[in-house]
Amino acid sequence: MEIPYIVTPRKDTGLFNAKIAIWLFLASEVMLFGGFFSSYVFLRLGADYPWPERTLPVLPGLINTFVLIGSSVTVVFAWAALKMREWRKFQIFMGITVFCALIFMVLKAVEYNVKFHHQALRLKDYSIIEGHLGKELDGDKKEVLDHNGNPIEENLIYVEASKLTFNTRRFHTPWLEELLTQAEQHKSTVKLTADLKGEEGTSDEGKIYAKSGELLSIEFLNRMEEIRKAATSNNAALRTTALRQEWVKAHAANPGKRDWQISAGVNIDLKALKPKMLTEISTVTFTVDPPAKFDFHPRDIKAADGSSRMRDDTVVEGKLLDSPMGFHHVDAIDFQYLVMKAVEKGIEPEIAIENSWLIKNNKFAQEAWEWHQGEIVKLKAELLKKGGLDKDGKPRLFPTHKELYRIGWKDFAKKTEDEGRVKLSSSDAFKEEFFGPNYEARGDETFPELSVPREQVGFAAKFSPAWNTYYGIYFTITGLHGLHVIGGALVLSYYLFFGRKMYLTNPEWLANRVEIGGLFWHFVDLVWIFVFPILYLM
């Protein structure tokens, strides 16, 4: 049986099946992205921290906007070429459309890559530093690599560990492997502190599971885990059997009564069960001999001098060593959050900034802040000249909160250029609009190094969803939109590379399919037209 209205439209609606389906699908897509945009507005209006404004590179986003608009035009031309039965023109225009999708995704990948390698740090006083972390160097000034061959960033917590206590219920095998690797590098042995034995139970009396001095290994902890599971299962079965017997006795002693009426008197005698119960080994302690310097990622451990705890409940006993967070290049200093908190406490913004750790302890930050204040004076004069005064004698135009309290990488660049120390060529400056600041060309004069003591670190993350709500929304919306671009491009590519047979068999059917693909592509373009101003310009 042939399905009707695949090629020819219905007389009453003038639509064929696929067009009705795509409109229903696009209606659901409108609700999806409409929900995202509405959530963005509400979260921005209710944010309890300075919402990032104009932080994304405008030029790549602007180019992507014109790329998608151009591709929407060429997909229409491709459809029109099929309607006129001009296969060659269809190939050209559809090829341009797919190529535009590729350009869009390449620019988006470049933008994502910059974000995932950019470090942000919020200090305890709410000052914010942005830039790139330095790399650990050995005595020959070469980068130190981890066991995976990746450079180690200067954002590690160091502990001179003397003991390691593992939880047999939830130890994380990759972290255990890392600890063993580091111990081997330091030529330290990790051995069992004391004998592990069952001290209770008739079938378990005096049984030694492991002897003191046995070396730490994955197999050892797996064996302890199996012993614990067996003991837990045995003990649970004993308690369940005893509890059932108690319920039988309770029902016999209280005929006619409901369970809830007699539950308070149903208890098991743990002392009577103790001789039959097996020892549940929940933790195992090892000695590190000699004590070794272990490094940990801050997200993996809650550090404290004497005893630190990892997220899998592994306890690291030992001295907490100096673990500064080192920036190889600082390209932004942001006092907006600090000022917001200061105003809440009734403190003048300038006083709060001058008392911040950064201004008090870093000469470059002091000089940059003094230079920035001079720039603000110039900006106020320009705005006064442009807008004049209102009827109350106050300036009509004034600097934004971001202009007042944030020094970005372009400000750092302007500072050194004004001082005549660094000047980039126009081509290098253009590249910075895509890839961010050129650290190599501008050097430490523009983007200095900075070491922040661990006790001053409040929160640190890459420019990822972990950093703040704004980036969470940015990656959600642009990531979902990117998947739509990829999906649409794959469908259009199928028509381009495998549509010849369909064209020779029934060209109108192919034209209808391309029209449906084009409608979806127009929607993808429309979503980006909303994304660009909301996320990039506002």
- In terms of residue numbers, what domain contains 45? 17-117+464-537
User: Closest by alpha carbon to 333, among 242, 257, 446?
Assistant: 446
Whether 487 has a pLDDT exceeding 90, the answer reads: yes
* Pair 172, 311 in one domain: yes
- H/E stretch holding 449 reads none
* Domain end among 323, 347, 379: 323
| Range scoring the smallest mean pLDDT among 44-48, 121-125, 218-222, 387-391 | 387-391
Domain presence at residue 11: no
* Pair 166, 314 in one domain: yes
* Pair 165, 303 in one domain: yes
* Pair 245, 189 in one domain: yes
530 or 19: whose pLDDT is higher? 530
Q: What local confidence, expressed as pLDDT, does residue 393 receive?
A: 77
Domain presence at residue 148: no
pLDDT, tens only, 442-459: 888 888 889 999 889 999
| Range scoring the smallest mean pLDDT among 173-187, 359-373, 387-401 | 387-401
496 or 153: whose pLDDT is higher? 496
- What is the number of domains present in the chain? 3
Mean pLDDT of the chain: 88
* Predicted confidence band of residue 1 (pLDDT cuts 50, 70, 90): very low
* Pair 347, 208 in one domain: no
* Predicted confidence band of residue 404 (pLDDT cuts 50, 70, 90): very high
231 or 22: whose pLDDT is higher? 231
Burial class (CB in 10 A: 0-12, 13-18, 19+), 515: buried
171 or 143: whose pLDDT is higher? 171
* Pair 226, 335 in one domain: no
Question: What percent of the chain has pLDDT above 70?
Answer: 92
* Predicted confidence band of residue 23 (pLDDT cuts 50, 70, 90): confident
Token pair of 54, please?
């104009």
Cα of first residue to Cα of last residue in the chain, in angstroms, is 55
pLDDT, tens only, 25-52: 889 999 999 999 999 999 999 988 999 8
For residue 109, report the phi and psi dihedrals to the nearest 5 degrees: -65, -40
* Domain end among 422, 440, 462: 462
Q: What local confidence, expressed as pLDDT, does residue 509 receive?
A: 81
* Pair 84, 101 in one domain: yes
* Pair 449, 469 in one domain: no
* Pair 455, 477 in one domain: no
433 or 524: whose pLDDT is higher? 524
Q: What local confidence, expressed as pLDDT, does residue 214 receive?
A: 92
* Pair 184, 275 in one domain: yes
User: Closest by alpha carbon to 60, among 115, 116, 129, 121?
Assistant: 115
Cβ count near 449 (within 10 Å): 14
Kindly calculate the radius of gyration of the chain based on its CA atoms and give it in whole angstroms: 33
CA gap 198, 202 in Å, rounded: 10
Domain presence at residue 276: yes
Q: What local confidence, expressed as pLDDT, does residue 172 receive?
A: 94
Domain presence at residue 5: no
pLDDT, tens only, 244-295: 998 888 888 888 888 888 888 888 888 888 888 888 889 999 999 999 999 9
pLDDT, tens only, 97-147: 999 999 999 999 999 998 988 999 999 999 999 998 887 666 556 666 665
Question: What percent of the chain has pLDDT above 90?
Answer: 56
Domain presence at residue 186: yes
421 or 458: whose pLDDT is higher? 458
* Pair 262, 201 in one domain: yes
* Domain end among 308, 323, 338: 323
* Pair 361, 469 in one domain: no
